[in-house]
Amino acid sequence: MFYNSWNKLCKKPFGAVCCEEEIEFNFYAKNTTNAVFIVFTLDDKTFKKQMAPVSNNSNDNLKVYTIKYTAPTEPGLLWYYFELNEGNKVYYYGNNEEALGGEGSIYYHAPKEYQLTIYKKNINTPSWLKNGIIYQIIVDRFFNGNENTEVVNTDSSLFFLRNWDENPQYVRDEQGNVIKYDFYGGNLKGIIKKLAYLKSLGVSIIYLNPIFQAFSNHKYDTADYKKIDPMYGDEDTFELLCREAENLGIYIILDGVFNHTGSNSVYFNKNGTYAKLGAYQSKESVFFNWYSFFTYPHYYKSWWGIETMPTINKDNKDYCSFIMEGNDSVIHHWMNCGAKGWRLDVVDELPDEFVGRLKEQIKIHDPNSILIGEVWEDASNKISYGKRRKYLLGDELDSVMNYPYRKTLISYVTGQFTASKCLSHLLNLFENYPKEYSYSMMNLIGSHDVPRILTALEESSLVEPKASSISLDRLKMITLFQMTFPGVPSIYYGDEAGLEGLGDPYNRGTYPWGKENKEILCWYKKIVSIRNNNKALRTGEWIPIYEDKYVLSYIRSIKNNKDSFGDECENGQFILLFNNDMEREHTVSIPIPKEELLSKYYVDMLTGINIELISGKLVITVPSLQGILLKNIE
């Protein structure tokens, strides 16, 4: 018996489907099989349908059992497996042990189920997002644009200034609590002054970590949602940044921290810093019902038990109105100033209703705006607090931070995953996500919450010179993958300059102006430019064509002058090959499907070497720890 959810002979169409779309399932079983059923589970209700046997001209020993099924009218997840009757025996065929989709396994009991994502009709994500390059910035660590590099010190009791080239480090008490934060003086003026650099890098979207007034250096403890932190600048400076950026074709995305505030904030006011009565100070405060107290006022609900970050009641109507309703709400206020969208911090903590309303409001303000969520797992089937989330069904997010993608690529280039395993994990995400979202994923390999990518790729068991060489090879390979894969590549500031560092705070060092690793920076500029100048690498079809233990290959292609979303554009095709073997090169022979080929002649965009396919077959040697980027020659 056989079924493979990625094979068009077994299931059409591939992957997620929209509501009321017809799906064809074909299951292959021995001629001695009496009956085959497909068993569905939807909203905790299970039902099964018998599949009809049809002739199989390709294999006399296997019979094909088929059924056409119309997807439900409402978005959700449909789970399925197969039940076979053979004589007096019952067998089951379901998803494989890793539940990654593709070829399944035989079971003698209830099997692991396949997932089928059913999404809302007519969803779409903005074209500028799908075609973009994101650059993430912690403002304090990027550049100081003030004259004489002056720094505005708002509270010396929580503040000390480091020299720009010093390593970050917290000052903690004996219990490990941070008692002083270090600052470097980066600000919004600094970003304005470096916009030309970001444009030269090929960036089209800037995602800013929190910029609102707060007392930490990370700014996730918001003190005032309506005020830019004075260290960073003011509202006029932010508006100028948005205007100047947009003049260069760059949009600004803000970090929305709506699950919690700072304890030292206008709203909670634990330290009595503000004149307005806070929730901590009095039950008569207009903000009191925003928070949950166990024993008033000292014991309250907070994010991960961190007392400086009291959690908000997201069901509170006054709070929801403050954040998103009306022209002067937080969302609309900053979008009026020029923000093009939001990234939602810890979106798992925000109810579906809150996220849905927020998306509705930003789309009312600007239908072409975007909403990105911080999700660390597969966002299509994420369960948070016992509830299945609806992030990618059409009414909530436009994109998520693609941490599973990062984990998969790092595992492959460091040799923890074979090429086959890497491809299975990528196909699993590609199968579970609707196409609109697959092409708008925030495909990151670095962020403020994980070690720097160059550090993550180091080979610690080797001596330092060799380790540096291997890390650099791996970095080039993983970034080539990132820039040629569907989705939106995201660059964490300084990664393109060779910054290193383990977890927080060492991954939050300053940009090394004048001390960049020139080789890495030139490499980034080269591959970003190749992506930006070739639509096939942005919205072309993604077609895996080969994988073994070490080598992985796929095609990015636009044929018939239309991309994956039906937009008119020039034809173009790329063949990508990667080899994660640390020890040796590998020569591969790959037959390219005739229907996929645009040409028999290709050029390696990285070396300039011309390649000719013989009888539709690509025979090529892939060097150790390197990638190859072939482009068709008309």
Active site residues: 345, 374
Which amino acid is it at 323? I
Rg (alpha carbons) of the chain, rounded to whole number: 26
Question: What is the distance between the alpha carbons of residues 497 and 494, in angstroms, rounded to a whole number?
Answer: 5
Question: What is the distance between the alpha carbons of residues 110 and 93, in angstroms, rounded to a whole number?
Answer: 9
The total number of residues written for the chain in this structure? 634
Please check whether residue 134 is in contact with residue 490, taking contact to mean a CB–CB distance below 8 angstroms: yes
Element (H, E) at 612: strand 610-612
User: How far separated are the first and last CA of the chain, in Å rounded?
Assistant: 44
Give, as one character, the DSSP assignment of residue 288: G
**Residue whose entry in the numeric block shows the structure tokens 């094909």:** 64
Please check whether residue 321 is in contact with residue 329, taking contact to mean a CB–CB distance below 8 angstroms: yes
Longest Cα pair distance anywhere in the chain, in angstroms?
86
From the number of C-beta atoms within 10 Å of its C-beta (0-12, 13-18, 19+), residue 385 rates as exposed
Beta bridge partners of 632: 602
Please check whether residue 13 is in contact with residue 23, taking contact to mean a CB–CB distance below 8 angstroms: yes
Helices (H), ranges, 401-496: 403-413, 419-432, 435-438, 453-456, 464-483
Long-range contacts (CB closer than 8 Å, 24 or more residues apart) made by 612-617: 616/591, 616/592, 617/589, 617/590, 617/591, 617/592
Rama region for 2: left / alpha / beta (φ>0; ψ in -120 to 50; rest): beta
> Dihedrals φ, ψ of 444, to 5°?
-95, 150
Give, as one character, the DSSP assignment of residue 500: -
Taking residue 531's Cβ as centre, other Cβ atoms within 10 Å add up to 22
Sign of the alpha-carbon torsion through 70, 74, 75, 79? negative
From the number of C-beta atoms within 10 Å of its C-beta (0-12, 13-18, 19+), residue 273 rates as middle
Please check whether residue 406 is in contact with residue 444, taking contact to mean a CB–CB distance below 8 angstroms: yes
